[in-house]
Structure 1
Amino acid sequence: MPWRVRTTLDDRPGILAEVAQACGHAGLNIVSMQVFGVADRVTDEFVVDGPLDEVAVAEVFAKAGGTDVAVTRIETGTIVDAPTRYLEAVHQVLEEGRDVEEVLRELLATEPPDVADYAGHDVLDLVRRGGTTLRISRAVPFTPAERSRAQALLSLVSDAGADLPLIAPSAFHPIPLVREAALADIDAVAALHSRCSVETLYARYQTPLRMPMTTRFARRLVVPEHGVALVAQAGLDVVGHAVVEPGEPRWTAQVLVEDAWSARGIGTMLVRQAAATARAGHADALTFLSAGSNDALLRSVGSAGFVARVERRDDVVHITVPLRG
């Protein structure tokens, strides 16, 4: 069974040979090793494989001269060198849309909590680009190298797309277009939501939306589990977004337009493309959903050439347009 062992050793010649000899006598095979230097002592991380339990493994390293020994069980697939794991983590966040906090917790092995000689959790505070703090805790103390690596990774993925305006209204462009969304739109869609007012977001989602949104949520908006996502693009900015979902007995759509682009035809373009998408899926009707009174959406539906049936169910307005006949 593989174990990850973290221990502090004297920084002197021959200490690693003594540890290796102790592991050999105990039937432990050293699979990998990392060294984290601190002043006149070093914190070493070993991955060992053998028939012992965590308490017995800890005793082997303690008798070999190790102090602050911490042993945790790991999966065989996690035995990869640290630089490769961190590079893969950057790819997962930027290209696959994974949440950076989730990725960091995997890299720093915050699970499982069953640690021999548990002495309390250590806390790691990482600073995001916007000044907010991401806090991660772990039973095994963090080394200075791990703290630096984690902060560097968070800074790197946070700075990606930093040249895009996140708060200021996007500049007008004379020829906006509507197209199907793609993974490359994750940051732009998140930026769109950050520029929208609370009222606009509530009309779209029928619930208060917490900002800033996570990468995972933005990914679901551009690649929904069911249906198709649309974006309205003006220049380099996404200024509108819609999701069209199939269902029985009718398809549904929800539309969001940036406040600064309201009454400029973006909503009408999204309504038309949403209807075309539903019609291509053989839908007979399409229902646009919105919270409360949404005159802008009603005007967009009318401007798109539809005669709609409007119903209110609880606090949600259903605007249904026929797609056949």
Structure 2
Amino acid sequence: MPWRVRTTLDDRPGILADIAQACGRAGLNIASMQVFGIADRVTDEFVVDGPLDELAVARVFTDAGGTDVSVTRIDDGTVVDAPTRYLEAVHQVLEEGRDVEDVLRELLATEPPDVADYAGHDVLDLVRRGGTTLRISRAVPFTPAERSRAQALLSLVSDAGADLPLIAPSTTRPIPLVREATLADIDAVAAMHSRCSVETLYARYQTPLRMPMTTRLARRLVVPERGVALVAQAGLDVVGHAVLEPSEHPDNPRWTGRVLVEDAWQHRGIGTMLVRQCAGTVREHRGDALTFLTAGSNDSLLRSVGSAGFVARVERHDDVVHITVPLRR
């Protein structure tokens, strides 16, 4: 059975030989090793495989001169070069849309909780680009190297594309552009929601929205689990947002859409631009109808649908208005 062992050792010649000999006598095979230097002492991480349980493994390293020994059970796929794992993690976040918190928890091995000689959780606070904090904890203490790696990864994926606007900002009047949302839009979408009035948010969500918006919720809005998200960008700001979701039944070619335009940009054609792009996106996915959902008191979306050149069927279900646009050519 494979185990991950963390232990602090004196930084002196021969200490690793003592550890290797002790593992050999106990029938433990050392599959990999990492060194985290700390002043005159080092914290070493070993991945060992053998027939012993965690308490027996911890005793082998303690008797060989290790202190602060912790042992956790791992799976066979964990033995991978650490820099490679972090590079693959960046790809998973930026290209595959995985949540950075989930990726970091895998990298830092916050599970499983069965740790020999449990002495309490260590806490790792990582600072996001917007100043918010991502907190991760585990039973095995974090090394300075792990803290630095985790912060560097979070900073990298947060800043990816953030300083490269897709359209050039104008000092007089920014030109709006509608495009598909990406992970780089998380902070901008959250900021747009903070500029919206309670009435505007209610028309979009039909429920009071908790503010300030969490990063996890903003991420769902730019990379939904099902469907596509669009944003309207003016200069460096996101001023409009839409989410398109396909029917839960694969044989049903109908989609639903929800649109939000911040108050300062309403009645300036942003809603019409979003409606047109929504319709085009659904057509690309072979949908034959798109139903926009909004609160019953919101007439702006209906006007935007008409301005976009569509003839829609309007139905009211309780306090929600369904505006259905046929898209068959």
TM-score bin (small chain):
0.7 to 0.9
Does residue 252 (structure 1) correspond to residue 256 (structure 2)? The answer is yes
Does residue 304 (structure 1) correspond to residue 308 (structure 2)? The answer is yes
CA distance in structure 1 between the partners assigned to 2:327 and 2:268 by the alignment = 24
CA distance in structure 1 between the partners assigned to 2:236 and 2:36 by the alignment = 44
TM-superposed deviation, 1:187: 1.8
Q: 1:249 to 1:293 in 2, by over 3 A?
A: farther
CA distance in structure 2 between the partners assigned to 1:296 and 1:211 by the alignment = 25
Partner of 2:184: 187
Partner of 2:76: 76
What is the aligned-residue identity percentage? Answer: 79
Q: Kindly provide the CA deviation profile for residues 44-89 of structure 1, in whole angstroms up to 9, marking residues without a partner as x.
A: 1101111111111111111111111100011111111222222222
Partner of 2:127: 127
Partner of 1:115: 115
Does residue 218 (structure 1) correspond to residue 219 (structure 2)? The answer is yes
Equivalent residues in 2 for 1:261-300, closer than 5 Å:
261-275=265-279, 281=286, 283=288, 285-300=289-304
Q: Kindly provide the CA deviation profile for residues 140-163 of structure 1, in whole angstroms up to 9, marking residues without a partner as x.
A: 111122122222222222233343
TM-superposed deviation, 1:269: 2.8
Does residue 320 (structure 1) correspond to residue 324 (structure 2)? The answer is yes
Work out whether residues 201 and 209 of structure 1, in 8 Å CA contact, stay in contact via their aligned partners in 2.
no
Work out whether residues 226 and 245 of structure 2, in 8 Å CA contact, stay in contact via their aligned partners in 1.
no
TM-superposed deviation, 1:6: 0.4
Q: 1:37 to 1:258 in 2, by over 3 A?
A: same
Work out whether residues 189 and 241 of structure 1, in 8 Å CA contact, stay in contact via their aligned partners in 2.
no
Q: 1:54 to 1:239 in 2, by over 3 A?
A: same
Work out whether residues 55 and 116 of structure 1, in 8 Å CA contact, stay in contact via their aligned partners in 2.
yes
TM-score (norm 2): 0.82
Does the residue aligned with 2:131 lie in a helix, a strand or coil? coil
Work out whether residues 99 and 214 of structure 1, in 8 Å CA contact, stay in contact via their aligned partners in 2.
no
Q: 1:315 to 1:93 in 2, by over 3 A?
A: same
Q: 1:282 to 1:187 in 2, by over 3 A?
A: closer
Equivalent residues in 2 for 1:1-325, closer than 5 Å:
1-163=1-163, 172-174=173-175, 176=176, 178=178, 181=180, 185-188=182-185, 191-196=188-193, 197-199=196-198, 200-207=200-207, 208=209, 211-214=212-215, 218=219, 221-222=222-223, 225-226=226-227, 228-232=228-232, 239-247=239-247, 251-275=255-279, 281=286, 283=288, 285-322=289-326
TM-superposed deviation, 1:120: 0.9
Q: Which runs of 5+ in 2 are unaligned?
A: none
Q: Which runs of 5+ in 1 are unaligned?
A: none
TM-superposed deviation, 1:117: 0.7
Does the residue aligned with 1:147 lie in a helix, a strand or coil? helix
CA distance in structure 2 between the partners assigned to 1:16 and 1:122 by the alignment = 26
TM-superposed deviation, 1:32: 0.8
CA distance in structure 2 between the partners assigned to 1:92 and 1:129 by the alignment = 19
CA distance in structure 2 between the partners assigned to 1:135 and 1:215 by the alignment = 13
Does the residue aligned with 1:152 lie in a helix, a strand or coil? helix
Q: Kindly provide the CA deviation profile for residues 10-32 of structure 1, in whole angstroms up to 9, marking residues without a partner as x.
A: 22111110110010111111111
Q: What letter matches 1:154 in structure 2?
A: L
TM-superposed deviation, 1:210: 5.3
Work out whether residues 97 and 219 of structure 1, in 8 Å CA contact, stay in contact via their aligned partners in 2.
no
TM-superposed deviation, 1:111: 0.5
CA distance in structure 2 between the partners assigned to 1:278 and 1:11 by the alignment = 62
CA distance in structure 2 between the partners assigned to 1:324 and 1:157 by the alignment = 40
Q: 1:213 to 1:31 in 2, by over 3 A?
A: same
Does the residue aligned with 2:103 lie in a helix, a strand or coil? helix
Q: 1:206 to 1:126 in 2, by over 3 A?
A: same
TM-superposed deviation, 1:272: 3.4
Q: What letter matches 2:203 in structure 1?
A: A
Does the residue aligned with 1:71 lie in a helix, a strand or coil? strand
Q: Kindly provide the CA deviation profile for residues 198-222 of structure 1, in whole angstroms up to 9, marking residues without a partner as x.
A: 5334322333155555468636645
TM-superposed deviation, 1:300: 0.7
**Number of residue equivalences:** 316
Q: 1:120 to 1:27 in 2, by over 3 A?
A: same
Q: What letter matches 2:305 in structure 1?
A: V
- RMSD (Å) for aligned C-alpha atoms: 3.1
CA distance in structure 2 between the partners assigned to 1:324 and 1:159 by the alignment = 40
